[in-house]
Structure 1
């Protein structure tokens, strides 16, 4: 199991979206915060990203910018251009924009991922509001190859485009996070965790077999360390003891299974390490503040309507 892939998958709700946007100067659009992560890639021309906080960022051809926390921001041909408000839903369900103007053109590839920000993976908590990856010749060839494939698919749809775009968007987000992790200085936090073979081995075992009755001793043995040495190392890097992380991961996985599937509660309990449905329900309510059955119902569409409450945006 891949810990980075799991961190994204467990937060995912609904399908990602992407579209090509063509604007001609002067232009400026302002988006409100949204529940997920977004990205912009400059395919042609230049523009400015104007975050809600901090300095404006100049973007050129090939630049990639990611907003992992869905912060409010603006895009414009110049920081001085007046901005037109865009409904926040347009970033979660993005549609093509085009301008008939005759000013300097800019072509962007924009997209959004709907994520459960109410329970982010610890890795996501450490990401900055804005990740800017400038285009540099010979750098991040895999990232830019994915951008090229995605731009081609969005610009020239064909049979199976919907599935291809969804898969490429998953790939793109992983490449963006890889690039951010790779360019960090001395690794700290989860960047250090993913660079530590001992702790990563333990995390992979937890993710691969969450129903296993793990103990600190058995996890330490898998990692090749004594109980005490493993516990100290794991806690220092992950930020919580091994069994606390195990419980957190089980309950996070349970939430995804309840949200996205229709398995009986007993089956969800067994998949997350609980032989008793009662014990599972008690642990789930302690962690999420609501019983598992009620949690599932909050994501179930009513007759003739979309998802309710916290399930909106799927």
Structure 2
């Protein structure tokens, strides 16, 4: 698997959910903070995004997308001064239907909203480095794949047909990848109208950070090697050879862009992989240790406890009770 797909798979739990809602002004809803991530798309009409701690609301027009990577509480309304009604997530983690505060007499807004259930215990930097609110404005000719995924999802929710229960989660997973790819990998227009601060934008677009890592062919080659074979006893020299660089040059570039040395990231990813295996399957501990790059259960258990604060067997029992 590639790095972006691996990062999503490592954090995702449960099934994603979405809803398509028509609102008529005046309307406003306050979404609470959650453990997952979510998005809003304005299909028709306009809406205002109200962010806690931010002085200015953000106007959303037709086709605008907002991605909330960290599950922060926020408001969505037809106007900045419209009173908000509290909303709660359903027990399955889905966004509720937005409460209707009155008769359908005002300007109509068509919204597409979705929620992803994610584990924050081992948040990959690809997600943890995102700003609280990613605003992707609609511009003619930009992000055609993201727009196509939004159109397909909206059409499927508007007119469910046989197979929709399988198609909608798949489209939601596809949309999540396109959202992250749009921010991290693809060429982006200037984002001075987005919801991140200018300092956040400069940090993301500068020489460091995962935006730089995923755009750097040498570092990307090494990351792909690690994710392809996490159990291999990699050395810095071998990873540098994958990157086509000398040991010293590779170590400097990798550390600058990724934020930690190559072998430190390798260990972190091995432990993240081990945690996912323990959560999702009944794989024997010996097999988990081998797939995580350890030749003995003892050395694996010692490393795992150092990362998670408990032995792997106890971790498996705990997550099985709470999962």
- TM-score calculated relative to the size of structure 1: 0.92
Determine the structure 2 residue equivalent to 1:305.
Answer: none
Moved over 4 A (4+): 88-91, 184-187
Determine the structure 1 residue equivalent to 2:161.
Answer: 158
Determine the structure 1 residue equivalent to 2:83.
Answer: 82
8 Å CA contact 2:18–2:113 kept in 1: the answer is yes
1:84-114 deviation line (CA, Å, top 9, x unaligned): 1112457932244474522221110000111
Counterpart CA distance in 2 for 1:291 and 1:208 is 26
Determine the structure 1 residue equivalent to 2:49.
Answer: 49
Q: How does 1:83-232 map to 2 (within 5 A)?
A: 83-89=84-90, 92-97=93-98, 99=100, 101-181=104-184, 182-183=187-188, 185-232=205-252
1:32-71 deviation line (CA, Å, top 9, x unaligned): 1101110000111111111112121101111111001110
RMSD of equivalent CA atoms: 1.6
Q: Please state if 1:71 is matched with 2:72.
A: yes
Counterpart CA distance in 1 for 2:207 and 2:31 is 33
Determine the structure 2 residue equivalent to 1:260.
Answer: 280
Determine the structure 2 residue equivalent to 1:14.
Answer: 14
- Helix, strand or coil: the match of 1:92? coil
8 Å CA contact 2:10–2:272 kept in 1: the answer is yes
> After alignment, is 140-149 or 87-96 more displaced?
87-96
Determine the structure 1 residue equivalent to 2:195.
Answer: none
Counterpart CA distance in 1 for 2:296 and 2:116 is 35
User: Unaligned stretches of 5+ in structure 2?
Assistant: 189-203
Deviation at 1:185, TM superposition (A): 4.2
> After alignment, is 113-122 or 146-155 more displaced?
113-122
The verdict on how the C-alpha distance between 1:92 and 1:51 changes in structure 2, with shifts beyond 3 A counting, is farther
8 Å CA contact 1:31–1:73 kept in 2: the answer is yes
Which of 291, 295, 299 aligns to 1:279? It is: 299
8 Å CA contact 2:208–2:258 kept in 1: the answer is no
